[in-house]
Structure 1
Amino acid sequence: MKNPPRRSAFRPSQLLRAGLLAAAALCAAQAQADEGGMGFWLPGQIGTFAAVQNDPGWSWTFSGYHAYADSATRNQNKKGRVTNAQLSTPNDLLFIAPTYTFATPVAGAQAAISLTGLYGRTEVYANAATTTPKGKTRSDSSDDTRSGIGDLYPMATLKWNFGKHNYLAYATVGAPTGDYDVNRAANLGLNHWSYDAGGGYSYLDEKNGTEFSAVLGLTFNQKNPDTDYRNGTDAHLDISLSQFLNEDFHIGLVGYAYHQLENDDAPGLGKKNLKSQVAGLGPQAGYFFKVGQHKWYANLKAYDEFDAKNRTAGWNAWLSLFVPL
């Protein structure tokens, strides 16, 4: 946000605008957990074939992500003044993840390491309308848009295969390297370290063409040193169910559930419960196709969100391409 004008130039209309935007920010804060409404784990990022082993060597995964989410809140004070606020957050992100899969087993499992980076555009739009007890309404809005790079996410995985049954253990870290400005609403970095670990299972029957995957994890967050805000610990579950229609093409469903287990911790929050939750469900389609001597894989999936609490909710879509080298 820009610095406010000096007092000599601070007109009544600007005082009104500042008051309305402050009300919008307050209502938005009351409606969302996680600082800025954004947590470390992006629901839906792990899905189909989550625990299935890959060929040893290098591979790249490219994922395009588009999302639109919003929330609306209503606040009435003791004098009858009513403030209605709306917050919307469209995002367009590109994730790039080089991965190296080791040929030598580790504890009987296939080991791999990856590093995910992102570039994208995010927008935070806030609108507030205040109605006095006499019925007079005034409104104002703010819009902050930003393009740039996000945080880095190194990850290590272990995958075990027992015929149709596949198991996964993973650990990942969020390193605060992305674009961040404490004075702006639109940020691509979190400005704090995060740690996430969990496990998963994939059932893959190649004869009948049936696939099912589920990944469960926990996220722990450190404080943002610029704001003293710490996001609460959360749990997340990503699932996938699909059926192959031929050797290379499959369709199915994807879903996720996100639940915050611990309240946020920050100056001024008090004991108010800001634990957030959201669920998503939607279709998916995947296709294997040969390029040279390797088979590439493309997946398109979309989620419609519901059962949201203390966070924005809407819909999102992913288009991913897996490229083995």
Structure 2
Amino acid sequence: MSLAATEAARAAESAQGVYVLGNRGPLAGVTPPPGFYVGSQTYYYSGNLGGNRTFQSGGVAAANVKLDFSADFVTPVWVTPAEILGGNLGLSITLPFGTPNVGAGAVLSSPRIDRIVAGREHDANVNVGDIYLTSFVGWHSGNLHWSATLLGVVPSGSYQPGQLSNVALNRPALDLSGALTYLDPVLGYELSVVPGITFNWVNPATQYLTGTEFHLEWSASKYLSKELSLGVVGYFYDQLTGDSGAGNRIGPFKGRVTALGGQVGYTFKVGDIPVSTNVRFFREFDVQNRFTGTAAYLTISAPLWVAPSKPAAEKKPAITKI
């Protein structure tokens, strides 16, 4: 089977960005007070890349791909007392681990994709992902809260060339994003928007260079009580420049996807420690050159230690969490 006989349509190596779409939801622009926090996100994605479209991952190209991906992202966060332009500086690190379960209708030959060398293939391996290093600065003014975030992705060395199932993408990258949240503690309304852009470097194992990517997430929620909220969430992704590099064997294809869904948040206490939980669900549509599927998140976060409040005369406008 020649490549011309397939509909060569996908975007970003492994059809994934290092920025996981939908990972920031309600209250995305709110930076908590200085202290140490821990968060855990359990992520599940199920999608298809059918219609004889090709997929390149780990230096291997495949057609008619089915992906079931589950992963956990554990993130310790330190919001420092240091201030930049009046906003609090925060730092975090994340090392994801999980199991991409990948099934392919046909694995195509390498280095020339001009014939099928295998029939239906299946690959599922528990492995760790790349290292996410994040710094952010957050500000507050009345009901408005906003932040600027710099995310750096460092390959962890766990990537396996020739393997379809990789949590790690082995692609150094920088992601710049901003977040704005409007939170009315009296009426109980929350609105958040998070635009960002990802700059990728070449995967040294495959010599594949993923193009520059734009992403946008949003949420609109209503607090039914101080503990419970319901709302709608969504994301939009658009690849701004095409893929390239010596290892790219499927062309400079650019992807796009939109997703809408719902969320429910609930906060409870374990002793004196408030524990925030959130469940988000997304269904993708208007998809071009990417998987089409469903994503879900379970987020749990809690403070480990919060710095004592400043004297009243030194306090900034308070953040009221409902």
Q: Distance in 2 between matches of 1:106 and 1:272?
A: 43
CA contact (8 A) 2:206 2:247 kept: no
Aligned 1:109-124 pairs, distance under 5 A: 109-124=87-102
2:74 equivalent among 81, 96, 119: 96
Q: Which residue of 1 aligns with 2:139?
A: 160
Identity of aligned pairs, percent? 31
1:298 equivalent among 277, 280, 284: 277
Q: Which residue of 2 aligns with 1:252?
A: 231
| Equivalent AA in structure 2 for residue 194 of structure 1 | A
2:19 equivalent among 28, 36, 41: 41
Q: Distance in 2 between matches of 1:86 and 1:183?
A: 18
CA offset at residue 182 of structure 1?
1.2
CA offset at residue 56 of structure 1?
1.6
CA offset at residue 74 of structure 1?
4.0
Q: Which residue of 2 aligns with 1:311?
A: 290
CA separation of 1:142 and 1:292: change in aligned 2, threshold 3 A: same
Count of residues in Structure 1 that have an aligned counterpart in Structure 2: 286
1:57 equivalent among 35, 49, 52: 35
Is residue 198 of structure 1 aligned with residue 177 of structure 2? yes
Q: Which residue of 2 aligns with 1:211?
A: 190
Q: Which residue of 2 aligns with 1:289?
A: 268
2:153 equivalent among 169, 174, 181: 174
CA offset at residue 148 of structure 1?
1.3
CA contact (8 A) 1:23 1:128 kept: no
SS in structure 2 of the partner of residue 180 of structure 1: coil
CA separation of 1:128 and 1:119: change in aligned 2, threshold 3 A: closer
TM-score by length of 2: 0.84
CA offset at residue 167 of structure 1?
1.2
Q: Distance in 2 between matches of 1:270 and 1:295?
A: 50
**Residues 221-265 of structure 1 deviation map (CA, whole Å, 9 limit, x = unaligned):** 110112211000010001111000011100001100010000001
TM-score by length of 1: 0.83
**Residues 165-191 of structure 1 deviation map (CA, whole Å, 9 limit, x = unaligned):** 111101001110052111111111111
Of structures 1 and 2, the larger Rg is shown by 1
SS in structure 1 of the partner of residue 81 of structure 2: coil
Superposition CA RMSD, Å: 2.3
SS in structure 1 of the partner of residue 14 of structure 2: helix
Q: Distance in 2 between matches of 1:188 and 1:271?
A: 21
SS in structure 2 of the partner of residue 33 of structure 1: coil
CA separation of 1:140 and 1:183: change in aligned 2, threshold 3 A: closer
CA offset at residue 284 of structure 1?
0.2
Instruction: Name whichever structure is richer in helix by fraction.
Output: 1
Q: Which residue of 2 aligns with 1:275?
A: 254
**Residues 138-173 of structure 1 deviation map (CA, whole Å, 9 limit, x = unaligned):** x93001111111111010111110000111101001
SS in structure 2 of the partner of residue 93 of structure 1: strand
| Equivalent AA in structure 2 for residue 214 of structure 1 | V
Q: Which residue of 2 aligns with 1:186?
A: 165
**Residues 69-94 of structure 1 deviation map (CA, whole Å, 9 limit, x = unaligned):** 1011248xxxxxxxx95211111101
Q: Distance in 1 between matches of 2:76 and 2:87?
A: 20
| Equivalent AA in structure 2 for residue 295 of structure 1 | P
| Equivalent AA in structure 1 for residue 263 of structure 2 | Q
